[in-house]
Chain A
Amino acid sequence: MKARLAVNMIACTGHGLCAELLPEVVALDEWGYPVVADRPVPHELSSLARRAVRLCPTLALRLEQAQGGPNPASAGATADRRG
């Protein structure tokens, strides 16, 4: 099953644990916040990914089943719609 990592940017405070556990999928920007690669988590890393989700100190990380469509993490962001 293909899954993608997604970050709730409001909850994330930049501990950086995810990037330490999964450098293949998560990089940190210059301010220490995770940048998740825009592709499913490779099968061999899925147990590490689940661990990262469990260990995130602010519970900001989740695994979402990839549907082949756009990344729900970015599609879920609100449009700059002002009513």
Chain B
Amino acid sequence: MARHGGIADPQTAVRGTVPHRAEQLGLASRLTLGWHESGEPASLRTHRDRYGPAPRLGTGRHGALIDGVTHAGLTGRGGASFPTGVKMRAVARGRGPAVVVANGMESEPASEKDKALLSRAPHLVLDGAVLAALAVGADIVHVCLPRKREWLFNVVRTAVAERERANLDPVRIEVHGLPDYYVSSEESALVHWLNGGEAKPTAVPPRPFEKGVGQRPTLIDNVETLAHVALIARFGSVWFRQTGLAEAPGTMLSTVAGAVRAPGVYEIEVGTAIGDVLAMSGLHPDAGPILVGGYFGTWHDVSEVAHLPMAPAGLREIGAAPGAGVLFVLPPDACGLSETTRVLTWLAGQGAGQCGPCMFGLPAIADDFTQLASGRPKGPVLDRLDRRLAAVLGRGACRHPDGAVRLARSALTAFAADVKAHASHRMCLTGRRGQARTPALPIPRAHGAEEWR
């Protein structure tokens, strides 16, 4: 079993049964163990029945777990794939007591995996956060969640209360609801918010591992990463490396959506061929290109990526990255150019409004895309876009503009024929002119005037 209705909203049930070819297809159930039994969050008792108790660590730093995570080769599952052991060691070497932040913001609209994980196995994440805290010498864990997902907040709060009643953890756990702008899940934004500021990225250095929350060395890890830490602490690094690739071991959660029969969250071995992931989720025979990695990701023809492993090294050769594990297949009746335009317009409104090139450049780029998609370009729009994309790249304090540029550039390549068709005939390749197409990629509802604090 590895497919799970991604969203744990009440209306979404857990779907699917065990595919027969599960093992050949690189499916695994480590994090997702027992998810199909119930769509409910696992209680502390259920959690212990599944995994056994977490190893007891006293207070003080624990090099052994850091060594274990390092040897396991675990990398961050939030998007950057940074080696978790390296990060832990840097924090453990810092001065004074450290802080752990569990990042469950999942501001990527196309990703469902962190919501699914937190709402099914909250104790696995909390185990990992507490064990990581003990390993790096932290006395507090902050769990950061988007303020608007109240049900998720309640699930985690309930789990924390259960642990408090059982007097389980030697460190304090605080659960926070943050503003959920796209940039608010970025590390320095979390630190800034936890320090009493707005959930906006800040200029670095200092990096959070040096001076983060309360000026203390701060370990910030995605919630899935922490769940893997909990399993490495129990079963060891050799066990962890039994699946996945030598250079990228273990399993990962992947959100598969769009033109597939069975969209949802899948746990796969890192390095499973993308074609296999799509096959097991029931790829539509006439599917369009695929968006790999999310809204900071890249568009590709399915044939270009089908043989490639879902892992950083294998995707690098085509300029792609697994990111947070999103695979979105464009439905046959959707227009990739229009979809990208919608996403770029949304991303332009999701910046923190701090850095000029991002603040002015992203709306300008989104406007150029709108002109391309509408087939009514003003002037040499492609030349203008080229210049603007280059002008914005690398010029923010955070990587928000860079992500938008990556998406925009890949769309210009993947949908080059559409760009031509829109421009010369004011007509979309996927349908007749003026025909309304159902939007495919999810765009969160407008914020109105949500606070940054």
Which residues of A approach B to under 8 Å, CB–CB? Answer: 8-14, 29-33, 35, 74, 76-83
The total number of A-B Cβ pairs within 8 Å is 105
User: Are the CB atoms of B101 and A78 closer together than 8 Å?
Assistant: no
User: Are the CB atoms of A77 and B357 closer together than 8 Å?
Assistant: no
User: Are the CB atoms of A33 and B357 closer together than 8 Å?
Assistant: yes
User: Are the CB atoms of A82 and B185 closer together than 8 Å?
Assistant: yes
- Chain A residues within an 8 Å CB radius of B82: 79, 81
User: Are the CB atoms of A80 and B357 closer together than 8 Å?
Assistant: no
CA–CA, A82 to B201, complex, Å? 11
Interface digits, B96-113 against A, CB 8 Å rule (1 contact, 0 not)? 000001110101100000
Is B409 positioned at the interface, with any CB of A under 8 Å from its CB? no
User: Are the CB atoms of B296 and A83 closer together than 8 Å?
Assistant: no
A10 CB contact (under 8 Å) in B203, B360, B402: B203
User: Are the CB atoms of A78 and B79 closer together than 8 Å?
Assistant: no
B391 CB contact (under 8 Å) in A11, A29, A80: A29
A78 CB contact (under 8 Å) in B201, B225, B358: B201
User: Are the CB atoms of B357 and A83 closer together than 8 Å?
Assistant: no
User: Are the CB atoms of B78 and A82 closer together than 8 Å?
Assistant: yes
User: Are the CB atoms of A79 and B80 closer together than 8 Å?
Assistant: yes
Question: Chain A interface: which of B335-343, B392-400, B433-441?
Answer: B392-400
- Chain B residues within an 8 Å CB radius of A10: 202-203, 354-355, 397
Main secondary structure of the interface of A (DSSP, over half): loop
Is B205 positioned at the interface, with any CB of A under 8 Å from its CB? yes
CA–CA, A29 to B364, complex, Å? 13
Is B137 positioned at the interface, with any CB of A under 8 Å from its CB? no
A9 CB contact (under 8 Å) in B101, B223, B355: B355
State the Cβ distance, B427 to closest chain A Cβ, in Å. 31
User: Are the CB atoms of B190 and A9 closer together than 8 Å?
Assistant: no
State the Cβ distance, B125 to closest chain A Cβ, in Å. 12
State the Cβ distance, A24 to closest chain B Cβ, in Å. 19
- Chain B residues within an 8 Å CB radius of A14: 356
State the Cβ distance, A26 to closest chain B Cβ, in Å. 13
The 5 closest A-B pairs by CB, nearest first: A83-B103, A81-B80, A80-B399, A33-B356, A9-B355
Given contact pairs A9-B396, A82-B324, a sample of 17 additional A-B residue pairs in the complex whose CB atoms are under 8 Å apart:
A13-B356, A29-B356, A29-B357, A29-B391, A30-B391, A31-B361, A77-B394, A78-B201, A78-B399, A79-B80, A79-B82, A80-B186, A80-B402, A81-B186, A82-B79, A83-B190, A83-B225
CA–CA, A14 to B360, complex, Å? 11
State the Cβ distance, A6 to closest chain B Cβ, in Å. 10
CA–CA, A53 to B376, complex, Å? 44
CB proximity to A under 8 Å, residues B366-407? 388, 391, 394-400, 402-403
A-B contact pairs, 29 of them (CB 8 A): A8-B203, A9-B354, A29-B361, A29-B391, A29-B395, A30-B388, A32-B356, A76-B203, A76-B205, A77-B204, A77-B397, A77-B398, A77-B399, A78-B186, A78-B187, A79-B80, A80-B186, A80-B400, A80-B403, A81-B187, A82-B78, A82-B79, A82-B80, A82-B187, A83-B78, A83-B102, A83-B103, A83-B105, A83-B225
- Chain A residues within an 8 Å CB radius of B185: 82-83
Residue with the highest number of chain B CB atoms closer than 10 Å, among A9, A11, A30, A78: A78
Please give me the residue from chain A that is nearest to B79 by CB atom. A82
- Chain B residues within an 8 Å CB radius of A11: 203
User: Are the CB atoms of B396 and A81 closer together than 8 Å?
Assistant: no
CA–CA, A76 to B203, complex, Å? 8
Is B188 positioned at the interface, with any CB of A under 8 Å from its CB? yes
Is B269 positioned at the interface, with any CB of A under 8 Å from its CB? no
CA–CA, A81 to B398, complex, Å? 9
Is B222 positioned at the interface, with any CB of A under 8 Å from its CB? yes
- Chain B residues within an 8 Å CB radius of A30: 364, 388, 391
CA–CA, A23 to B223, complex, Å? 47
User: Are the CB atoms of A83 and B398 closer together than 8 Å?
Assistant: no
State the Cβ distance, A15 to closest chain B Cβ, in Å. 11
User: Are the CB atoms of B399 and A12 closer together than 8 Å?
Assistant: no
Asked if A74 meets B186 with Cβ closer than 8 Å, knowing A9-B354, A83-B225, the reply is: no
- Chain A residues within an 8 Å CB radius of B397: 8-10, 77-78
Asked if A81 meets B78 with Cβ closer than 8 Å, knowing A9-B354, A9-B357, the reply is: yes
User: Are the CB atoms of A78 and B356 closer together than 8 Å?
Assistant: no
Asked if A33 meets B395 with Cβ closer than 8 Å, knowing A11-B203, A80-B402, A82-B185, the reply is: yes
User: Are the CB atoms of A35 and B188 closer together than 8 Å?
Assistant: no
Is B41 positioned at the interface, with any CB of A under 8 Å from its CB? no
Asked if A78 meets B204 with Cβ closer than 8 Å, knowing A31-B360, A83-B222, the reply is: yes
Is B419 positioned at the interface, with any CB of A under 8 Å from its CB? no
